[in-house]
Every structure is written in structure tokens, then in C-alpha cells.
Amino acid sequence: MMYVLLALYIIAAPFIVGALGILYGMVLKGIDRKLTARMQGRVGPPLRQPFYDVLKLLEKECIIPENAVKWLFNAAPLIALAASITTLLYLPIGPFPPLFSGNGDLIVILYLLEVPCLAILAGGFAAGSPYSTVGSQREMVLMISCEFPLAAAIIALAWKYSSIYPGLKAFSLTTFVNNPIWNNVGVLGFIGVGILLIVMLALSTSGLGRLPFDIAEAGTEISGGMLVEYTGRNLGILYINDAVRVVVFATLINAMFFPYKLSPLIANYVALPLAASLTIDFLFYLFKVFLIAFVTVTLMRVAFPRYRVDDVVKFYWGIAGLATLAALILIVMDTFFGW
């Protein structure tokens, strides 16, 4: 009986995590649109509008451009969504550990984060449209620009853990979750980690293709860029993928910087059964993901205009890259000199 239950868990768990990512991502989309409208003095659509949009798209026929590479054009949305959901399986969901984990899950996550971008990029090239081709070229520039600060930020935190806990897996998210970084640094290290947090928030906005870094879609310039030729079910799948990626990036930042739980604090005053403890921590996780998504998606979109392509490159290779290196130096000084 135990083996049967274990088999059912192994089969069902990925579907549950995937469904959670899709549903909560769609809810965050609705909240984002509503809050953005309110911040701009508009009423905005109802919170359930993203669900209506997806259902309508999934019912419509896919129109494939005459000059498109059809198999790649149709496969790109499915590959992107599958990669996004797979990434979510490597991330801790509130009080629940990740379904997949290992010595270097952060490195695996770095690669998986690029797969949806590469898939949509390939779909843009396969569409055979000049607008989608330009959008794909811009996406390539954006991906290359983000690589250095993203890798440097993760390496800086992993180095800190390896220097403090030599026996632990420095590139494992379990290490980050069980040993919050803020508890393991001094003043200089605190400043360095704060800089890395800001860089990661900016990288999340870029990875999601949102203002001010939506140069690959830029509706006023290239009519939607990579997605200009996508319609019907394919566009609906891409819409769902975008919602899941919001949850993925917010969950990653939460695991790296804010892996705290609320139930231990409450348990100091009130005895909590296991079910109540798990529920409280799960709801606290949803709240933290919402706050991170609000900063990286809603606030950034309202507060900043779109950057030009060259400005994005200068920002990531210049400001973000130098900020990451400065943060690494501060963390090293904090480790060796105890400042």
C-alpha cells in the first residue's frame, strides 16, 4: 500500500504544482491589471479577466503564417510552458520542499529559465514575419545582457554559503531556505545582499519581458514582436506560460532572499497543529510572491517608460554588472574581515 501511495504522489505532485503555478499566475495577472489601472486613474478589468481571455483564445483556431516553419512555430509555445512548469518543480512552494533537488539545482534553474525564452525566440524566427524576426533579435540581445549579472549574483551568494558552511551544497536551494542569507552576514554583507536583491528584481522584470524591458514585444514599435503572428490556442498557451513565469521568478527570489516562515513566530504564543502550520506558511508564501510580483511587474511598469535596446545593454552590462561586482566585494570583505 505504501508503494502505491508513493507512486500516486510521484505522478500527481507535478500536476498539482503545475496547476498551482497556472492558477496563481493567472490570479496575479488579474491583480496586476487591476492595480495598474488604479495607479493610472482607470477602473480596469475584473480580476477574473485573464481567465476569460485564456478560455477565449483556447477556443479559437490557430492561424499559421504561410511562410512559417509550421512544426517549430507550433511547438515553441508548448516547449516554453513545459520548461516553465519544470522550473517550478525545482522550487520550494511555501513550507513544501521542491519535488526535484540536488547538489546544483540553482545551476539547473539558470538553464531552465532560458528555455522558454529560447523557445519563443525560435518561434518568432519560425513565423517568417519581419516584425517577429526583429523581436527575436531583440530577445537575443536581452538574454545576452542578463546572463552576466544573473550568474554573478547567484555565484556571490553561493560563495558566501560555501565559505560559512563548507559541508553544505552551496548551489542547492535547500541551503538557501534552511539558512536565510540575512542571518549570515554583517553590515557590509547586508548591504551587498541588498544590492543583489535589487539586481535580481530588475532581472526578473527583464526575464518576464515587462516594462521597462519589453523591447522584444514593444507594441508601439514592432506590433508585438515575437508574438505578432501567434493566434488562438498557441497564443493562449503563451499567455499561460507568461503567468507561470511570474510565479517562477517570484518564487525563486523568495527562496533566495525571503525563505522565512510565519508559523514558528505564531507557535511562540499559540500551539499549532501541523495542518494549521502548513496552511499559515503556505498563505504567507502566496503573500510574499504577490509582493515580489507587484514590485517586479506592476510597480516597474507604472513607474518607468520603455528603455531602448542600447539602454538595456548599458544597464545590465554597466550598472547591474558593476553593482553585482560591488556586492560581491562587500560580501567578501564581510566574510574575511567581519565588517
Task: Give pLDDT, residue 216.
Answer: 66
32-41, 68-77, 218-227: the lowest-pLDDT one: 218-227
Q: What pLDDT, in 10s, does the model give residues 99-120?
A: 888 778 888 898 898 898 888 8
Read off the pLDDT of each residue in 170-190 and give the average, rounded to a whole number. Answer: 88
Grid look-up 560580501 returns 331
* DSSP string for 59-73: HSPPPPPTTS-HHHH
Task: Give pLDDT, residue 141.
Answer: 78
**Calculated CA dihedral for residues 254, 258, 264, 266, nearest 10 degrees:** -90
Residue 36, Cβ density class (10 Å: 0-12 exposed, 13-18 middle, ≥19 buried): middle
* Cβ–Cβ < 8 Å for 162, 169: no
Question: For 149, how many CA atoms within 13 A lie in the half-sphere containing its CB?
Answer: 31
Judged against a pLDDT cut of 80, whether residue 208 lies above it is answered with no
CA-nearest of 191, 222, 217 to 206 is 217
Look at residue 299 and give its three-state secondary structure: helix
More confident residue, 227 or 75: 75
Q: What pLDDT, in 10s, does the model give residues 114-171?
A: 898 888 888 888 887 777 777 777 778 788 888 888 888 888 898 888 888 887 788 8
Q: What pLDDT, in 10s, does the model give residues 230-270?
A: 888 998 999 999 899 999 999 999 999 999 988 888 888 88
Output the pTM of the full model: 0.91
Task: Give pLDDT, residue 215.
Answer: 67
% of the chain beyond a pLDDT of 70: 92
